[in-house]
Homo-oligomer: A and B are copies of this chain.
Amino acid sequence: MTLNKNIVVLGGDGFCGWPTALRLSAEGHTVTILDNLSRRRIDAELGAGSLTPIADVTSRLAAWKRVTGKSIRFEAVDIAKDPVLLRDLLAEIRPDTVVHFAEQRAAPYSMRDAAHKRYTVDNNISGTHNLLAALVELGLDTHLVHLGTMGVYGYDGDGLELPEGYLDVAVSGPDGRTYPRSILYPTQPGSVYHLTKSMDQLLFQFYARNDGLRITDLHQGIVWGTQTEETRLDPELINRFDYDGDYGTVLNRFLMQAATGHPLTVHGTGGQTRAFINIQDTVRCVSLAVANPPKRGDRVKILNQVAETHRVRDLAHLVASITGASVAMVDNPRKEAPENTLKVSNRGFRALGLEPILLRDGLLAETLEIVEKYRHRANLDAVPARSLWTRDNRPGVVHLRADAA
Q: Which of A167-203 contact B (CB under 8 A)?
A: 167-174, 178-179, 181, 183-184, 186-190, 192, 195, 198-199, 202-203
CB pair B179–A171 under 8 Å, yes or no, is: no
Contact between A195 and B206, CB atoms less than 8 A apart:
yes
Q: Among B139, B167, B209, B335, which residue has its beta carbon within 8 angstroms of that of A391?
A: B139
Q: Complex Cα distance A158/B212, Å?
A: 23
Contact B181 A202 (CB under 8 A): no
CB of A125 within 8 Å of the partner chain: yes
Interface stretch, picked from A9-17, A21-29, A110-118, A372-380, is A110-118
Given A179-B158, A195-B203, check contact A114 B87 (CB 8 Å).
yes
Q: Which residue of B lies closest to A167 (CB)?
A: B171
Given A195-B206, A210-B389: A121 in contact with B129 (beta carbons within 8 A): yes
CB distance from A295 to the nearest CB of B (A): 16
Query: Does A160 reach chain B (CB closer than 8 Å)?
Result: yes
- One of B118, B130, B209 near A126 (C-beta < 8 A): B118
Is A211 positioned at the interface, with any CB of B under 8 Å from its CB?
Answer: yes
Does A392 interact with chain B (Cβ within 8 Å)? Answer: yes
Partner pick for A210 among B122, B125, B130, B335, CB 8 A cutoff: B335
* Chain B residues near A122 (CB-CB < 8 A): 122, 126, 129
Cβ–Cβ contact A206 & B186, under 8 A: no
Q: Give A258-310 interface residues, CB cut-off 8 Å to B.
A: none
Q: Which residues of chain B are near A206, meaning CB under 8 Å? A: 189, 192, 195
Q: Is the CB of A211 within 8 A of B390?
A: yes
- A136 sits at the interface (CB 8 A): yes
Chain A 198-234, CB within 8 Å of chain B: the 1/0 string? 1100110110011110000000000000000000000
Q: Is the CB of A121 within 8 A of B126?
A: yes
Nearest CB of chain B from residue A336's CB, rounded to whole Å:
10
Give the distance in Å from the alpha carbon of A203 to the alpha carbon of B206 in the complex: 18
Q: Which of A387-404 contact B (CB under 8 A)?
A: 389-392
Q: Which residue of B lies closest to A166 (CB)?
A: B186
Please determine whether A187 and B202 come into contact, CB atoms closer than 8 angstroms.
yes
> A233 to nearest B CB, angstroms?
40
Contacts of A183 in B (CB 8 A): 183, 186
CA distance A59 to B38 in the complex (A): 47
Min Cβ gap A36→B in Å is: 17
7 pairs of A and B residues whose beta carbons are closest in the complex: A169-B169, A183-B186, A114-B137, A114-B133, A199-B199, A121-B129, A117-B133
**Interface contacts beyond A117-B133, A121-B129, A198-B202: sample of 15 additional A-B pairs, CB < 8 Å, sorted by A:** A87-B114, A122-B129, A125-B125, A125-B126, A125-B199, A158-B179, A160-B174, A183-B186, A186-B186, A195-B206, A209-B335, A210-B389, A211-B390, A211-B392, A212-B391
| A and B contact pairs by CB, cutoff 8 A, 25 listed | A113-B137, A118-B133, A121-B129, A122-B126, A122-B129, A125-B125, A160-B171, A160-B174, A168-B171, A169-B169, A169-B170, A169-B171, A170-B170, A170-B172, A181-B186, A183-B186, A188-B205, A189-B206, A195-B203, A195-B206, A199-B202, A202-B202, A210-B335, A210-B390, A211-B391
